[in-house]
Structure 1
């Protein structure tokens, strides 16, 4: 039955059979494609509906409590004041030198937030534009010598500004070597002074010197009936300068 029979050559019958088989395959493929297209169309019509349903489904979001925003401290309105230029009891050696630009980078000192400090007056140099450094004038003081401390305040900003550097707005504080015990401050017994408004150009410095009688003191010592001021014995100590909310790095010195 596979052999073609007829008046024509066998090759012609084989060609007709091949064409018929090919046509049948093409038709079959078209049917399969049509069925697949119809199914794909159904899926495409169903999926958007499902997507739309998922998008419109209400979602319950539980509210979260938010803390009140913390206000960042601004040096412009943060503490003010200055490092000390007032002398200690009986010393009378408070001195203030004019500003100078020599050694500005080395005298900038470290600036860190202090626990307390007076408010900077409006329009004056903000704390973040200033740096304070203080150091003893000698590494070691002999018995009977009054330690002398020099404070340097530097404008580290980019513009000129004014700041009241009166001695009551500055502090020079002496601590034990580990910083745990406060022994003295220049404004404990001399809290008041006249204003000293300085204009500092960028990089300009103001220098102040104060002497210490090597005795202890406490805040508001003038209000105490009999202020207790004990001599400080030999040992290692540190001195710190404070201006507004800025504090210098502690500098060591010795009493022999």
Structure 2
């Protein structure tokens, strides 16, 4: 059976068909290699988590409350430098105020408070002297204590980072007030570390001290 048509010998046409078949085979092979080269190796996996997420701080696991080291914060200006005070400047040499020449009182807010809450103690220091006198109001001289049934639970001295001195001059009747914040998770005597559990419901007392002058104890309540 002859499958060639034309003036040439059959071998010429067979060679032409072979060349066409080889060309088609080469094209198919090149196409297959191209497809394999583009999809054969997978890119490295990229995390779906945004880059910023890896820089987020770890969750805080400390007990709630006031985490920073507490300190005394003056709530009213220095009485010797307040323009509204109607008196002459203090003399160059002001005698120290004796304990009988100042009054120290303390109040608590809130009271009652709640378990795990933070409480602000307001300490007022008033001169009862008849003339100018001076008193050290630095962190080394001031202290607040939290007690329960007379037993010490907390002292601000345990969290004091430095015992500084700050001598202030008082005219007769001058007053200055300080605030101190206490976390009810600070309940271990002689230790500033936050406890795992806060002070439990009950009645507590706070006492303020300025040097050797100590206020009367004041009750405050913690409720559930």
Q: What is the CA–CA distance in structure 2 between the aligned matches of 1:132 and 1:89, rounded to whole Å? A: 28
Cα shift readout 1:184-223 (whole Å, capped 9, x = no counterpart): 111112152432221111111110000111121333x47x
Q: Which among 200, 204, 213 is matched to residue 170 of structure 2?
A: 200
Matched, 1:182 2:171: no
Cross-structure match for 1:132: 104
Matched, 1:213 2:213: no
TM-aligned CA deviation for residue 252 of structure 1: 0.9
TM-aligned CA deviation for residue 254 of structure 1: 1.1
Matched, 1:238 2:205: yes
Question: Could you tell me whether the CA contact under 8 Å between 1:91 and 1:211 is conserved in 2?
Answer: no
Q: How many residues align?
A: 141
> 1:92-171 maps to which residues of 2 (within 5 A)?
92=70, 94-96=72-74, 97-98=76-77, 123-171=95-143
RMSD value, Cα:
2.5
Q: What is the CA–CA distance in structure 2 between the aligned matches of 1:144 and 1:135, rounded to whole Å? A: 19
TM-aligned CA deviation for residue 140 of structure 1: 1.1
Distance of aligned partners of 1:142 and 1:228 in 2 relative to their CA distance in 1, 3 Å threshold:
closer
Distance of aligned partners of 1:198 and 1:191 in 2 relative to their CA distance in 1, 3 Å threshold:
same
Instruction: Give the secondary-structure state (helix, strand or coil) at the position aligned to 1:212.
Output: strand
Q: What is the CA–CA distance in structure 2 between the aligned matches of 1:143 and 1:196, rounded to whole Å? A: 35
TM-aligned CA deviation for residue 167 of structure 1: 1.9
Cross-structure match for 2:216: 249
Question: Could you tell me whether the CA contact under 8 Å between 2:115 and 2:200 is conserved in 1?
Answer: no
Instruction: Give the secondary-structure state (helix, strand or coil) at the position aligned to 2:140.
Output: helix
Question: Could you tell me whether the CA contact under 8 Å between 2:97 and 2:129 is conserved in 1?
Answer: no
Distance of aligned partners of 1:252 and 1:245 in 2 relative to their CA distance in 1, 3 Å threshold:
same
Distance of aligned partners of 1:166 and 1:200 in 2 relative to their CA distance in 1, 3 Å threshold:
same
Instruction: Give the secondary-structure state (helix, strand or coil) at the position aligned to 1:188.
Output: helix
Question: Could you tell me whether the CA contact under 8 Å between 2:78 and 2:176 is conserved in 1?
Answer: yes
More helix by share: 1
Cross-structure match for 1:90: 68
Question: Could you tell me whether the CA contact under 8 Å between 1:173 and 1:240 is conserved in 2?
Answer: yes
Cα shift readout 1:108-127 (whole Å, capped 9, x = no counterpart): xxxxxxxxxxxxxx942222
Q: What is the CA–CA distance in structure 1 between the aligned matches of 2:194 and 2:122, rounded to whole Å? A: 26
Unpaired stretches in structure 1, ≥5 consecutive residues: 1-87, 101-121
Cα shift readout 1:28-75 (whole Å, capped 9, x = no counterpart): xxxxxxxxxxxxxxxxxxxxxxxxxxxxxxxxxxxxxxxxxxxxxxxx
